Amino acid sequence: MHIVVCIKQVPDSAQIRVHPVTNTIMRQGVPAIVNPYDLFALEEALRLKDQFGGRVTMLCMGPPQAEDALRKCISFGATDAILVTDRAFAGADTLATSYALAAAIRKIGQEQAVDLVFTGKQTIDGDTAQVGPGIAKRLGMNLLTYVSRIVEVDLDKRRLKVERRAEGGVQVLDTTLPSLITMLEGTNEMRFATMDDMLRAGRCPVRKWSKDDAGIEDVAKIGLKGSPTIVSKVFGAKPRNERADMQVVEDSSVNDVCLNLLQKIFTTHPTLEEETVERLSA
Ligand SMILES: Cc1cc2nc3c(=O)[nH]c(=O)nc-3n(C[C@H](O)[C@H](O)[C@H](O)COP(=O)(O)OP(=O)(O)OC[C@H]3O[C@@H](n4cnc5c(N)ncnc54)[C@H](O)[C@@H]3O)c2cc1C
């Protein structure tokens, strides 16, 4: 089984600060980490490798220092890693990023056919959740988003069954390989790196692919040129004026207090009552 796991190196958002005057993100001195959501995808891929054998290839598009993120993933047990890195990719939005990653996966597939591609649900810096679906569309792969559990993989029949979290419940989806899965957070627990894998991660060559190595056919579709998204303004959220109401009540009057609070909320947000009734009766 050949699985490609896409990971992004992101600034550790727990340590990010916003400039008080310009409202831009201050990245200086902020450590870079593997996007935490991507580790759930990696763990799931490693479990499939444990079960079926084969290889897990890590893929990242980013600056040269993103190699550290890939080595981290090798230390957990991934087989090898490719860093797609080229000045031509700078300024890429999600459209250009998914174009570049899809081209690289096509190229990887020429070495050994790819059965599954994993991405995280989303990143903690861009937060769009668009890159996975963008890759699947470009590669013509079945797309399974927000997957919470892989129920079954049948390599002989080339079939795959997963559970995906949907609004109001869990969907069970049955489809064919190759597919792309965006893995939900909290679905598994990342394993500890073994000493062997940690040593291998230090030695293992991380392949660096330029735009030509990655098989980019149309340079107008990568980097800033291929990015129609324009960030026109960045601003910090205004703190709310309202304060939380703390009410201490006797058990017997909880119902009355709830009713009063609901009435208060519905008065402040006039359309909410109608919408709530509509939803409840649907
Ligand atoms: C005009 C513009 C210019 C930009 N310029 C830059 C820039 O110069 N440098 C920069 O770093 N960002 C830049 N960005 C941000 C960049 O577009 C996004 O970070 C990137 O497209 C991924 O989107 P996302 O973070 O929302 O990922 P999501 O769609 O939320 O990610 C979903 C999943 O896709 C995978 N994934 C996402 N990105 C990558 C990646 N690069 N490699 C491998 N897998 C990935 C991961 O598995 C991730 O969990 C720019 C954005 C815009 C709009």
pLDDT of residue 71: 98
SS (H, E, C) the chain: CEEEEECCEEECHHHCEECCCCCCEECCCCCEEECHHHHHHHHHHHHHHHHHCCEEEEEEECCHHHHHHHHHHHHHCCCEEEEECCHHHCCCCHHHHHHHHHHHHHHHHHHCCCCEEEEECCCCCCCCCCHHHHHHHHHCCEEEEEEEEEEEEECCCCEEEEEEEECCEEEEEEEECCEEEEECCCCCCCCCCCHHHHHHHHHCCCEEECCCCCCCCCHHHCCHHHCCCCCCCCCCCCCCCCCCCCCCCCHHHHHHHHHHHHHHHHHHCCCHHHHHHHHHHC
Closest listed residue to residue 214, CA positions, set 103, 80, 137, 62: 103
Rg (CA), the chain: 23
To which residue do tokens 């009410």 refer? 247
Q: What separation in Å is there between the alpha carbon of 126 and the centre of ligand 1?
A: 6
Q: What separation in Å is there between the alpha carbon of 188 and the centre of ligand 1?
A: 24
Atom of ligand 1 nearest to the CA of 134: 29
Q: What separation in Å is there between the alpha carbon of 52 and the centre of ligand 1?
A: 31
Separation CA 114–CA 132 (nearest Å): 15
pLDDT of residue 143: 98
pLDDT of residue 23: 64
Separation CA 164–CA 32 (nearest Å): 30
211 lines ligand 1 (CB under 6 A): no
Q: What separation in Å is there between the alpha carbon of 62 and the centre of ligand 1?
A: 9
Cβ density class 90-123: b for 16+ within 10 Å, e for less: eebbbbbbbbbbbbbbebbbeeeebbbbbbbbbb
Residue ranges for the chain with pLDDT beneath 70: 22-25, 252
Q: What separation in Å is there between the alpha carbon of 98 and the centre of ligand 1?
A: 9
pLDDT digits (tens, 9 = 90+) for 234-243: 777 788 877 7
Q: Tokens in use for 93?
A: 């939005």
pLDDT of residue 22: 67
Terminal-residue alpha carbon distance, the chain? 44
61 lines ligand 1 (CB under 6 A): yes
- Which residue lies with its CA nearest to atom 2 of ligand 1? 93
Separation CA 18–CA 166 (nearest Å): 33
135 lines ligand 1 (CB under 6 A): no
Of 85, 94, 184, the one to substitute when testing ligand 1's pocket (max ligand atoms within 8 A of C-beta) is 94
Q: What separation in Å is there between the alpha carbon of 86 and the centre of ligand 1?
A: 15
To which residue do tokens 């591609």 refer? 117
Q: What separation in Å is there between the alpha carbon of 279 and the centre of ligand 1?
A: 35
pLDDT of residue 260: 85
pLDDT of residue 24: 67
Q: Tokens in use for 124?
A: 């903690």
119 lines ligand 1 (CB under 6 A): yes
Is 84 within 8 Å of 100 (Cβ atoms)? yes
